[in-house]
């Protein structure tokens, strides 16, 4: 069963995909858009990926504040979740993504990616961290049962 991981941002959506066994997450792409509220093409691309990879579940990063409250970005992520659910008909899980972008940026820095090139990979790497966190929890709950 393949699972799609999404890091929803104001101008991009980072995309990651699990392997068929649901053990590892790999970066797929970053979907770019000109304006925050222009989501038609973004949703169409997600639909294409769902079909192409026979995705059965989607995980969306949930950008909670560090004190666990919900801000404007979290509200927008919930609206995005609802749109993705309507468009794909698949279950969409919200996954706490606090510090995934910081972790992704640090990883890119350690890999020697130049600052001007990092944005190109940042969101899809953040999507990998979101999805991998979910897969790890799911895998641990299966083995501990």
Residue 145 has a pLDDT of: 44
What's the pLDDT score for residue 140? 65
| DSSP for residue 18 | E
Say which CATH number the domain at 25 has.
3.30.420.140
Tell me the residue range of the domain where 118 lies: 2-143
Residues in the chain, pLDDT under 50: 144-145
All residues at 6 or more sequence positions from 42 whose CB lies less than 8 Å from its CB, including other chains: 13, 31, 33
Q: Determine the Cα–Cα distance for residues 23 and 60; give it in Å rounded to an integer.
A: 17
User: Which residues have C-beta within 8 Å of that of residue 105, sequence separation ≥ 6?
Assistant: 118, 122
β-pair type (55-62, 12-18):
unpaired
Q: How many independent structural domains does the chain possess? A: 1
């Amino acid at each position: 069963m393949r699972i799609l991981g999404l890091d929803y941002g104001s101008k991009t959506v980072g995309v990651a995909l699990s392997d068929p066994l649901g053990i590892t997450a790999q970066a797929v792409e970053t979907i770019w858009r000109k304006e925050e509220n222009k989501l038609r093409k973004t949703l169409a691309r997600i639909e294409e990926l769902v079909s192409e990879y026979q995705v059965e579940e989607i995980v969306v990063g949930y950008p909670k504040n560090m004190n666990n409250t919900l801000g404007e970005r979290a509200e927008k992520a919930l609206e995005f979740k609802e749109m993705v659910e309507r468009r794909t008909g698949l279950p969409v899980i919200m996954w706490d993504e606090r510090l995934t972008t910081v972790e992704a940026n640090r990883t890119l820095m350690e890999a020697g990616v130049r600052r001007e090139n990092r944005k190109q990979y940042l969101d899809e790497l953040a999507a990998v961290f979101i999805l991998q966190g979910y897969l790890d929890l799911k895998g641990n709950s299966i083995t501990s049962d």
